[in-house]
Amino acid sequence: MHLSIEPVTSWPRTLLAAVITLAVIVTAETLAHKLSSREPRLAYVPSESLPFNGGGKNVGIYQIDVTNEGDAAADALTGSMRILGATIDNERVSAPGALPVDAKAEGDTVYLSAPSLNPTETIHVSILASSTTPLPIEPDVSVRATGVSAFRRVRGTSAPPRFSLLPVLATATTSLALMLALQFAFRRRANVDYVASRGNWPRRDEGLSGSRKVKLQCH
């Protein structure tokens, strides 16, 4: 026969399980982000022109940056920068490395094309335009690539931060800490109840014949 006793909690085992759970959460979040974020994200940033009068006509210089803010290359990039009613006097394009970029002016529009644009790369376009009528503050821009269209970003604002493990790690750690705290509280309460129940056991000098009884199990 033996007395049935509540097993003692193994905190090293609990902490090991918490560490393994934390590693699984971080790994899953990282893989999910990598699988979902592998796509291009095009942004164009126009600068405001301050047209001035020169030689009897209005002259303006326009600057446009086209950037791939995504995590994959943007293929078959094309774009147009239109300055309504203006004459394009000159255009200049600067691109990263050996990237071949074609730019040509037709009427009041500059057309742009490139085979691809890698993540973080930027194409810079400068346009000199003139008109006998007032010029717009900025050009009408449209840029797209395979499966994606560019959005306008205000100059001076930054792209959204790339994926970081710190927020994921902080969230997972906080959740696990709360779980451990709750486990500790519940188990402490269980231990208190267990100790309190032992207070009803007979003392040694009373033996097993006293008024209080201990539950015995026989095998």
DSSP secondary structure letters along 189-216:
HHHHHHHHHHTTSPPGGGTTSSSS----
> Taking all residues of the chain, what is their mean pLDDT, rounded to a whole number?
77
- Report domain extents, the chain: 1-37+163-197+212-219, 42-152
The pLDDT, as a whole number, for residue 72 is 93
- Name the residue with higher pLDDT: 197 or 111: 111
Query: In this predicted model, what pLDDT tens digit does every residue of 153-191 receive, in sequence order?
Result: 987 666 555 555 566 666 767 766 776 676 666 666 655
| pTM given for the model | 0.59
The pLDDT, as a whole number, for residue 114 is 97
The pLDDT, as a whole number, for residue 189 is 60
Q: Is 145 left (phi over 0), alpha (psi -120 to 50) or beta?
A: beta
Range 42-152: architecture per CATH: Sandwich (2.60)
